[in-house]
Amino acid sequence: MLTTAVAAGLVPSIMSCEAATLPANGQFADVKKWPGSTTEKANTFEEVTSYNNFYEFGTGKSDPAENAHRLKTSPWSVQVSGEAERTGTFTLEDILQPHALEERIYRLRCVEAWSMVIPWVGFPLADLLKRFEPTSQAKYVQFLTLNDRTQMPGLRYPVLDWPYREGLTIAEAMHPLAFVAVGVYGKVMPNQNGAPIRTVIPWKYGFKSGKSIVRIHFTATQPQTSWNMAAPQEYGFYSNVNPQVDHPRWSQATERRLGGGLFAARIPTQMFNGYGDQVASLYTGLDLAKNY
């Protein structure tokens, strides 16, 4: 039986090559280094995998590392729906198969005013979305996270209106910096970091990057996003990193770099997390104090 992806023409041919899979040994081979990576010192693997926000596994920073072993990432599929020519349900292998993986070292800025530097493994988000041929009506794209109480103990608590939802304008999603990640440090993505597939949008606060994605929905209207639904006065749809717009309960002017030690000086936060030269044009004419 043909997979949905083959039937839709998303992969070259079932006779031409074998669909790509995540490496059985957990280590990627032949990952190219992206020349645009930050030269800042990356956080350690232990720091990146032990201090996480992934409320589906608990609200404590160590809860995801302690509880995410329950998540079963194989088999995995992603439903694509909405304003696109090619929709349906696609296996993770369908999604990965044509893409050459690369390592991008990005800054990560959490809305809670801490930050990390992480070497992600993946490919441009635009390269994936273009395969589904969004129509001219697709002005936004929404990403939904797995919603399974048997695997995610945090879902028993109404911290948010589950499932977790995030969204971008189509222009943001198609920007060359927007990234699909399937690994970190040359290794397959740990469950607590959003396995098996997640987005990384480096100029936005971390919660804008969806984890453990099971649905991609193209839409003509601005989609609901979880934190904006929960507290619209605190978390806007755009949620770009902006040191000039404080959170109602704390300043966003500086950040604490994880791993710096108890007495390390705070770092000034950069507009768009330091990616302004690349992305500022997306927001020309937009009042970023009102459209936070």
Judged by DSSP in three states, 78 sits in strand
Q: Tell me: pLDDT of 262 over 80.
A: no
Q: How far apart are CA 39 and CA 34, in angstroms?
A: 11
| The predicted structure's pLDDT at residue 80 | 99
Q: Tell me: pLDDT of 1 over 60.
A: no
- First-to-last alpha carbon distance for the chain, in angstroms, is 47
Helices (H) and strands (E) in the chain, counts: 8, 13
Q: How confident is the model at residue 22 (pLDDT cuts 50, 70, 90)?
A: confident
The DSSP code sequence of 225-242 is: -HHHHH-TTT--SS-B--
pLDDT one-digit tens code per residue, 34-56? 999 999 999 999 999 999 999 99
- Average pLDDT rounded to a whole number, residues 173-184: 99
Which secondary structure element, helix H or strand E, spans residue 79, and what is its range?
A: strand 77-82
Of the candidate ranges 5-19, 184-198, 221-235, 246-260, the one whose mean pLDDT is the lowest: 5-19
pLDDT one-digit tens code per residue, 123-167? 999 999 999 999 999 999 999 999 999 999 999 999 999 999 999
Residue 9 falls in which region: left (phi positive, over 0), alpha (psi -120 to 50) or beta: left
Which secondary structure element, helix H or strand E, spans residue 144, and what is its range?
A: strand 140-145
- Average pLDDT rounded to a whole number, residues 159-185: 99
Indicate the pTM of the whole model. Answer: 0.93
Q: How confident is the model at residue 12 (pLDDT cuts 50, 70, 90)?
A: very low
| The predicted structure's pLDDT at residue 214 | 99
Domains of the chain: 27-282 (3.90.420.10)
